[in-house]
Structure 1
Amino acid sequence: MFVDKAEIIVSSGKGGNGAVTFRREPYVPDGGPDGGDGGDGGDVIIAADNNLRTLMDLKYKRKYKAENGSDGMRRKKYGKKGKSLIIKVPLGTMVIDKDTGLLIKDLNAIGDFVVVAKGGKGGKGNVHFKSSTRQAPNFAESGELAQEREIILELKLISDVGLVGLPNVGKSTILSVATSARPKIANYHFTTIDPNLGIVDFVDNSFVLADIAGIIEGAHKGQGLGLTFLKHIERTKILIHVVDAAGSEGSTPLKDYRIINNELKQYDDKLEKKVKIIAANKIDLINFDDLDSDILKNYNEFIEEVKKEGKIVVPISAATNKGIKELMGIALNKLEEQKIEEQNSDTENKEIPLYDFEKYNIDSDYKNLYASVDENGTFVLEGKQLTKIFNSTNFNDISSLRYLYKYIVRAGGIKKLKKLGLKEGDTIKINDFELDYTEDSEE
């Protein structure tokens, strides 16, 4: 099954807690602290894999979590670092932050990857909290919490050349005779529902050819799964517009040609301006000796109008393999010309709004401290760094409590609360813990 969109929830690993341990060695009766640091939590990484073609596996499993870091150990031993989780996606997948709707990274090159959830740092062991006035710290730092976020993955196929046209004009047949791909082929509309890819091989070169499912009138408005089909055309470098030259579906080639051009333009005018080669297919159904034939008249009118636009028209018969090699050769030449133009151009694509990691980073406000007053008149302090230190506090140890309070003072928490009316004897609430404020405790 071809799946080109998935939403997942990713969570990094929590950092391991620092250890609270003391040396217990023979002949060392007053051994100092020797608690080791906790290990960092694992990251969640999304990486492009050229061997994948669909997001199907991610459609049915929504939650992904990296490994937590291990806690620190005695004798200053570090906890084991959590194993990072690598989520593999097809080449051409766009990674989008669901909350902001902004693009985090477009994985459009082999080897591309992005860290979407950074593992929490491991907490420091009690050995780091020894000082001249605190010889035996009975507390350590807890590990940082994991990051969790929702990610949208959207696949837009990457191909060099795309076959576009109305349903049943012969795109799948062209793909089958030009490459080793074996798409489903039948004489009815929408045989192709999912894009098919194949490799067109020449003596010393090759390119990827994509059969994009048939577009119908109104596709840019979502008619006939149009939006699903059209987005896969965006990444193609060259378009081969396949037209039923014989009008075997009861229309005329010129009318069909204009319908597709209009749909491309309405969806994105850049698509309509892409380099296009016109493949006039099914010429084996035209009797070129019958000059009075409406089919031949319609064909000649079509050729005349398209040539006026300066487009290249290649008469082909996919059913008999006539003109296919010439068509692919012209496509290869156009690709080479485009590569040279790109190499000589210094312009950059700045139209896609990118996710700003500095601005939208999950932990950008990690050290911020927020003060407020709840409905009961209790003064409340909140903050991610505060929570981390709070979780590290040993409430049975006076030096540990003093360390917590000093952080609150240094981070400006008391000043912020005083602006809200904090006075001697008032209650300060941190998480579910309440303490009484005294002026002496600031010293």
Structure 2
Amino acid sequence: MADSNFIDYVKFCSRSGAGGSGSVHFRREKHVPKGGPDGGDGGRGGHIILRGNAQHWTLLHLKYKKHVIADAGGNGEGGRRKGKDGDDIFLDVPLGTVAKDAESMEVRFEITEDGQEVVLTRGGRGGLGNDHFKTATNQAPHYAQPGEEGIDEWIVLELKLLADVGLVGFPNAGKSTLLASISAAKPEIGDYPFTTLVPNLGVIPYRDDKSFVMADIPGIIEGAAEGRGLGIRFLRHIERNSILLFMIPADADSIQEQYQILLGELEKYNPELLDKKRLLAITKADMLDEQLMEEMKEDVPVGLPSVFISAVSQFNLDKLKDMLWTAIND
């Protein structure tokens, strides 16, 4: 994913179409000089509809759409002819897109399935023609109902990546290297903080032609939940991952301390993240011997499934995939 192509936040004005007006019309035929009312109803205004599309992975195509405006419905006509409904506008979005009200930031709905369609901004209803208003005492109503106005509102779309496993760790913990080693993904890799500036997805092949999806999330730093570093910009991508794989390098001063800091940032952002299954991978283990690994196990949080790995030397990567597959399907 090129940095400039990954857009996970857009804000735009969504304006649905107004409904068409009902018609005031009376039946006029030869030998029927005073026919009754036969005004048709106005057509419905166009909706703005979000549609899930599994082929999209970014909101880039909506970045420069500041206004999305649907057509108004047509007016009713005589002969009880209904006006044409306004054309709906469909916006294709990636799976994992959340629609929010821009003012209150209240979540409207989420798109999670390919082909799923949800009305974002509903078009105005068409007005009723005068045919609907005739009564025993008023058999020639000279009025009809106007169409309902469309809705004009500001909308925020946020993308939360859908993946089975989300990688959680400080910058330069080896997350991108791991993803590149066990999938066909090609994330940018470098020996400096914040190499990864956008999330990367990779499909991990497993035994018997099975597979699962892993997301490399840009590194967390202490204070990320308050906006430090890359802040909370990417923390939302962790919300959709069913398994969280914490990654701490073997040369860290304290595995326990780094784990608690990472856990604390997730809790401050969203306490529900702590309900997810967690595993720990201690990376860069190619520089450790058996004795050192045994000693370091004492610094691993109690009850947390863990494994020493090296993406460079492929050490224990199959064991890691076995652990992840078991956790996903448990």
TM-score by length of 1: 0.67
- How far is 1:112 from its partner? 4.0
Unaligned stretches of 5+ residues in structure 1: 338-443
The amino acid that maps onto 2:311 is A
Aligned partner of 2:151 among 131, 147, 151: 147
Tell me if the contact between 1:42 and 1:83 (Cα under 8 Å) persists in the aligned partners: yes
Determine the C-alpha separation between the residues in 1 that align with 2:236 and 2:125.
Answer: 40
Percent of aligned pairs sharing the same letter: 43
In 2: Cα distance, 1:123 partner to 1:259 partner: 59
CA contact (8 A) 1:254 1:302 kept: no
1:55 aligns with 2:49: no
C-alpha separation in 2, matches of 1:273 and 1:138: 64
Aligned to 1:209: 214
Look up the match of 1:280.
282
Matched, 1:236 2:229: no
For residue 62 of structure 1, report the CA deviation from its aligned partner: 2.2
Structure 1 residues 143 and 262 mapped into 2: Cα distance closer, same or farther (>3 Å)? closer
Q: Which residue of the partner structure matches residue 81 of structure 2? A: 77
Hey, what does 1:7 align to over in structure 2?
11
Indicate yes or no: 2:191 matched with 1:187: yes
Q: Which residue does the alignment assign to 1:323?
A: 316
Provide the rounded CA distance (Å) in 1 between the counterparts of 2:223 and 2:213: 28
Q: 1:332 aligns with which of 302, 325, 328?
A: 325
Quote the residue 2:26 is aligned against. 22
Structure 1 or 2: larger helix share?
1
Alpha-carbon displacement from aligned partner over 1:233-291 (angstroms, at most 9, x marks no partner): 122111111121145xxx454543443233333433443453222212112233x28x7
Aligned to 1:309: 302
User: 1: CA distance between counterparts of 2:273 and 2:80?
Assistant: 61
Inter-CA distance 266–41: structure 2 relative to 1 (3 Å threshold): closer
Is there any run of 5+ residues in structure 2 with no aligned partner, and where? none
Question: Helix, strand or coil: the match of 1:223?
Answer: coil
Query: 1:83 is aligned with what amino acid?
Result: D
In the alignment, what sits opposite 2:99?
95
Task: State the aligned residue count.
Answer: 325
Name the CA distance, whole Å, in 1 between partners of 2:186 and 2:120.
37
CA contact (8 A) 2:255 2:299 kept: no
- In structure 2, the residue matched to 1:417 is none
Divergent runs of 4+, >6 A: none
CA distance in 1, matches of 2:240, 2:63: 23
- Higher CA-based Rg: 1
Q: Classify 1:271/1:72 alpha carbon distance in 2 versus 1 (closer, same or farther; 3 Å).
A: closer
After superposition, the Cα gap between the structure-2 partners of 1:313 and 1:29, relative to the gap in structure 1 and judged at 3 Å, is: closer
Question: Could you give the per-residue CA deviations for residues 20-51 of structure 1, whole angstroms, max 9, x where no partner exists?
Answer: 33334334333443322211112222233222
Instruction: Give the root-mean-square deviation of aligned CA atoms.
Output: 2.4
- Letter aligned with residue 82 of structure 1: G
Q: Paired residue for 2:250? A: 245
Normalised by the length of structure 2, the TM-score is 0.88
Which structure is richer in relative contact order (CA contacts within 8 A, separation 6 or more)?
Answer: 2
1:10–1:311 CA distance, 2 compared to 1 (3 A): same
- Whole-angstrom CA distance in 2 between matches of 1:329 and 1:52: 30
Partner of 1:226 in structure 2? Answer: 231
Q: Kindly provide the amino acid, as one letter, of the partner of residue 319 in structure 2.
A: E
